[in-house]
Amino acid sequence: MAKRSDAAARICSAEAGRVISSLSLGQYLATKIQFGRYALAEGQASTGAHGDGHQVRRFNMVDGRVAIVTGAASGMGKAIAARLDREGAIVIATDRTIDGIASPIGTGSHGLFEKLDVTNQDDWSRVAELANARFGPPSILVNNAGILHFSALLETTTEQLRAIIDVNLIGAFIGIRTIAPFMAAKGSGSIVNICSIDATKATNGASAYVASKWGLRGLTKAAALELGPLGIRVNAIHPGGISTPMVRDAAMTDEAFDAIYHDIPLQRAGLPEEVAEAVLYLASDRSSYCAGTEILVDGGATAGKYYAQLPGAPPFASP
């Protein structure tokens, strides 16, 4: 089984891989090979000491860009805000409840932790104007805020459906409509909508959630068409089973939660930080030719089905 500790280690080594040593070509190539990826020079470079005492240059992917992240008090939103912050963005992390919750923004950063109810236009306008006045027009919007409700379709009330649609779909719509004009005025921007693999299929017991995420997937495509000519890229990420407070019982161990996903190729749940890496890619210029793109971060859950009676099936495949 692929362990979540291994995944966390790979995330750390990937960050290290974007360090360029200011030494000889041979030493640089050795560093590149060691970390397994090229270091692309994007954004403003920061300097620090390499393990051998030499100075190195690290290039932040979204340095100086103003980013708004919704649903950032916990889970994926918290990881996304922290990741963008570490890459040099000025992050306005938001959530509808922030009292008594530690900010996901690092100490010494220039960002903010602000209250935002994504269903409220006045809240969106206030946060947008605050960001623009203090830091400049937003360059990045991550529509991450979402809620989940489990009930059988025939037992789901209209009020429950509307509550989920309001947050998961209409909230993102209001956010795009509010923030996009700031991006259009400067001719560039990146909007990332956090959808779900339930926007590529369905799950029983979650009809309202599934409907909201399919709607968000469609909104992503429509927005990509209309906003692309204005210099704004709109893309979506479809997370699979991610270990977050929204879907995981607080008393459940990592092993017990991973066991739920034993029958997918990577045999474990995902980490919020793994979703954040995909967001960083779409928020940065590395994805400059991506518009209407969908990235699945699901451990292979939607890749297909194992048939135990056929060659190539793993030992855990059901007969």
In contact, 92 and 111? CB cutoff 8 Å: yes
Has residue 288 been placed in a domain?
yes
Has residue 304 been placed in a domain?
no
Give 215-256 pLDDT, tens digit per residue: 999 999 999 999 999 999 999 999 999 999 888 887 789 999
Helix axes of 121-134 and 171-186: crossing angle, nearest 10 degrees: 30
Give 133-168 pLDDT, tens digit per residue: 999 999 999 999 999 999 999 999 999 999 999 999
* DSSP per-residue string spanning 273-309: HHHHHHHHHHHSGGGTT-SS-EEEESTTTTS----TT
Has residue 76 been placed in a domain?
yes
| 28: annotated active-site residue | no
* DSSP per-residue string spanning 132-159: HHHT-S--EEEE-------B-GGG--HH
* Nearest to 168, CA basis, from 184, 190, 145, 141: 145
What's the number of domains the chain is made of? 2
Within 10 angstroms of residue 130's Cβ, the number of other Cβ atoms is 14
Verify that 205 and 229 share a domain, yes or no.
Answer: yes
Q: What is the residue range of 104's domain?
A: 66-297
SS3 assignment, position 310:
coil
**How many helices and strands in the chain, by DSSP H and E?**
9, 10
Has residue 317 been placed in a domain?
no
Verify that 115 and 189 share a domain, yes or no.
Answer: yes
Q: Which of 28, 38, 209, 289 is catalytic?
A: 209
Verify that 53 and 73 share a domain, yes or no.
Answer: no
In contact, 142 and 69? CB cutoff 8 Å: yes
What pLDDT shows up at residue 47?
45
